[in-house]
Structure 1
Amino acid sequence: MPASVPPAVGQMFETMIPGGVTFILYLVVRYAVSLTSFATMQNLIYTIIQTPLMGATANMAGMLVYCIASKVLWLFGIHGGLVTYAAFGTIIKTTGAANVSAFAAGETVPYLEWGMVTGFTNVGMLGLSLAMIICTRSKQYKSLGKLSLPTSLFNISEPLIFGFPLVMNPVMAIPFILSPIVSILPTVVVMQLGLVAPITGAQVATTIPFPIWLSLMNSSVSGFIWGLVVVALNVLLYLPFVKIADRMACSEETASEATGAQS
């Protein structure tokens, strides 16, 4: 643009050129797609990308990949939930919509595991807090269990992930990764067998205490009862590993007290 043109006006024209080129290219592509059997870009993307992606990941195997990847990232101090949701968010939303549609039609929801995955992700933290309260003798873990119980009750995991810590902890990595798996798999089984009412596809905030959350998800008292069972399973899962960490902490506290007494 000539030097006499004001900068604000020149910048407007500079953005109009690439914007105009992009718009024209889009119109060309849109017209070309309209000549095919897909008719629209939406149908093209859904058929070529969405349908194969759903077939590959909207199942139990995909859910396990989602859970494991999330927990492994947390072990390295990365917010696993945010990272994995960025990759699997479309699957979660699509399966959620399919569950709601099925329930409205009086049918069983087709994606039980994906309908519950976000609520089951952090239930292990409640199991860990209760395990520390039940079996620990060290001062640090006994206190941490009491302090973390209120946050764990509402599925807030950061105090334990960074306070225990679970980050870079190879021993606690085992139950941490297994927790959502041993929680969801039995739940899907008992729902498929009819022992617990299946979920309705409702969207419920995951900050609600787990047994209450599950009862709201399936609109049945059976959800609350099974939620208590899931919490108990997580307590049992974490207990042996908490005992290992507690013995190490007790040894360190004893050594520290002995050193302090000598000095």
Structure 2
Amino acid sequence: MNNLIDKLAESLTPFAAKLGNNRYLTVLRDAFMLAFPLTMFGSIVVVFNNLPFFPDELKGTLGTLLGNGQNATMSIMTIFVAFGIGYYLTKSYDEDGVFGGVVALASFLILTPFNFLTAEGVEVAGALTSDRLGAKGMFIGMLAAFLATEIYVRITKKGIKITMPEGVPDAVSRSFSSLIPAISTLTVFLLINAAVVGLFNTNLHDVIYTFIQQPLTGLGSSLPATLLALFLTQILWFFGLHGQVIINSVLDPIWQTLSLENLAAYEAGQELPHIITKSFMDTFTVSLGGTGMTLMVVILMAFVMKSKQSKEIGKLGLGPGIFNVNEPVIFGLPIVLNASMVIPWVLTPLVVTVFNYFMMASGIFPATTGVVVPWTMPLFFSGMMATNSIMGGILQLIDVVIVGAIWFPFLKVQDKANLSMTTEEE
């Protein structure tokens, strides 16, 4: 078994490290983190406006008075992500990030239709709709931002820019320096948009949404794909690699889009279209004690196991575990490279996720509304916030019972080994 683990570690570690250090995945992660405080604010507004014990009339009034808290943040999240991609990708090439960010954002907007059809079929010109700047425009926003930034940076690197003499204020000099790369990049996108609109009588938003975004979100919202992502996350952590950073950097854009679509449906009073969302992954996996759902594990170690070693590690991990930080138990039990713990470590998230999926699919428990809940929010409260229902918190309590049932026999074996070792030493 140890030989097998060593061979797997040799194979996985270089690949995982390369993936985790990938320039584009790192930029994408940082761009979403740039938008996080804004989406967090929008989520708080949504939760407050729709508290379950508020009458419908009050909810409507709050939506009118406070609704812009969501409209100006979560509903136009693609704007912040596009700017963030441009900013961080430009900085990764040691160029001025601010100008890269605004060029990326402007390039996305050039591809965005400034018109829409009303319910009566009347076309309104000179207006943007929030869905183009939110869930529906997410993938075109990311693609446009990456492409625009690469063009902008390459022109800048070739030295095709206006250099101002010394003594000119820095802000003026930087602006003139970015002038030719910015105009060139935006011209490319303007011509692309003109070609798509003029030759095909459509827009890239609809093309990307139909042929790329819908298939990818359909795949990302499926249970098999989710289980595969969880399996890979757990395996990577088992070998001491940060599974969330590596796997989520690939799948977060898809899960974020699914969350935004759920939020739009929730706000419109419609049936929630997805079970698997970013909120689901955070609230019903990480919020059960961190990666691997280990809050119940540290509780069992601290209060049920008998060996001093188990109790000490359990007590050490209990405080952080309440806030879903579980490095003390991952490295203290240990779980990393511990063959006796690999089965519950990998199996538990898969079993609990399947259970939660079917509980929500059957309507017994509510799906997540799409609001952003901080991953450090303690158990039960995070479930209520994510589903806008006390039933979400109750589902988390059921989850930790399942976690305990799976982990208990393995912890008991480890505990007996610790007691036996202590007896021999005495």
TM-score range, shorter chain: 0.7 to 0.9
Offset, 1:96: 0.3
Q: How many residues align?
A: 253
Q: Quick one: distance in 2 between partners of 1:110 and 1:45?
A: 20
Name the structure 1 match of 2:351. Answer: 182
Q: Of residues 78, 89, 99 in structure 1, which corresponds to 2:241?
A: 78
- SS state of the match for residue 136, structure 1? coil
Superimposed CA distance per residue, residues 154-205 of structure 1 (whole angstroms, 9 cap, x where no aligned partner): 1112221122221112221221222222222222323333433443333222
- SS state of the match for residue 190, structure 1? helix
1:62 aligns with 2:239: no
Q: Of residues 272, 276, 283 in structure 2, which corresponds to 1:113?
A: 276
- SS state of the match for residue 200, structure 2? coil
1:237 aligns with 2:406: yes
Higher helix share: 1
Superimposed CA distance per residue, residues 103-129 of structure 1 (whole angstroms, 9 cap, x where no aligned partner): 222233121232411122232210211
Name the structure 2 match of 1:196. Answer: 365
- Supply the AA of the counterpart residue of 1:151: P
- SS state of the match for residue 112, structure 1? coil
Q: Quick one: distance in 2 between partners of 1:175 and 1:93?
A: 28
Q: Quick one: distance in 1 between partners of 2:210 and 2:312?
A: 54
Q: Of residues 315, 329, 340 in structure 2, which corresponds to 1:160?
A: 329
- Supply the AA of the counterpart residue of 2:283: G
Name the structure 1 match of 2:121. Answer: none
Instruction: Go from structure 1 to structure 2 and tell me whether the alpha carbon gap of 1:36 and 1:161 turns closer, same or farther (over 3 Å shift).
Output: farther
- Supply the AA of the counterpart residue of 1:48: F
RMSD: 2.8
- Supply the AA of the counterpart residue of 1:97: L
Superimposed CA distance per residue, residues 128-149 of structure 1 (whole angstroms, 9 cap, x where no aligned partner): 1122124322211111111111
Check conservation: 2:263, 2:369, Cα contact below 8 A: yes
Offset, 1:16: 7.3
Q: Of residues 289, 301, 320 in structure 2, which corresponds to 1:132?
A: 301
Check conservation: 1:135, 1:243, Cα contact below 8 A: no
Deviates more, 1:147-156 or 1:201-210: 201-210
Offset, 1:91: 1.1
Q: Which of structures 1 and 2 has the larger relative contact order (alpha carbons within 8 angstroms, sep 6+)?
A: 1
Q: Quick one: distance in 2 between partners of 1:246 and 1:7?
A: 73
Give me the TM-score of the superposition, normalised by structure 2.
0.53
- Supply the AA of the counterpart residue of 1:249: N
Deviates more, 1:217-226 or 1:171-180: 217-226
Instruction: Go from structure 1 to structure 2 and tell me whether the alpha carbon gap of 1:250 and 1:45 turns closer, same or farther (over 3 Å shift).
Output: same
Offset, 1:238: 0.8
Deviates more, 1:71-80 or 1:210-219: 210-219
Stretches of structure 2 that go unaligned for 5 or more consecutive residues are 1-158, 169-173
- Runs of 4+ with >6 A deviation: 5-9, 12-20
- SS state of the match for residue 324, structure 2? coil
Q: How does 1:3-152 map to 2 (within 5 A)?
A: 22=185, 24-37=187-200, 39-114=202-277, 115-122=279-286, 123=288, 124-152=293-321
Superimposed CA distance per residue, residues 222-249 of structure 1 (whole angstroms, 9 cap, x where no aligned partner): 3333322111111111111111222222
Name the structure 2 match of 1:219. Answer: 388
Instruction: Go from structure 1 to structure 2 and tell me whether the alpha carbon gap of 1:15 and 1:100 turns closer, same or farther (over 3 Å shift).
Output: closer
Check conservation: 1:204, 1:213, Cα contact below 8 A: yes
Check conservation: 2:220, 2:255, Cα contact below 8 A: no
Q: Quick one: distance in 1 between partners of 2:351 and 2:201?
A: 42
- Supply the AA of the counterpart residue of 2:247: T
Check conservation: 1:136, 1:243, Cα contact below 8 A: yes
Q: Quick one: distance in 2 between partners of 1:224 and 1:196?
A: 10
Check conservation: 1:67, 1:121, Cα contact below 8 A: no
- Supply the AA of the counterpart residue of 2:281: V
Q: Quick one: distance in 1 between partners of 2:284 and 2:276?
A: 10
Stretches of structure 1 that go unaligned for 5 or more consecutive residues are 259-263
Name the structure 2 match of 1:261. Answer: none
- Supply the AA of the counterpart residue of 2:357: V
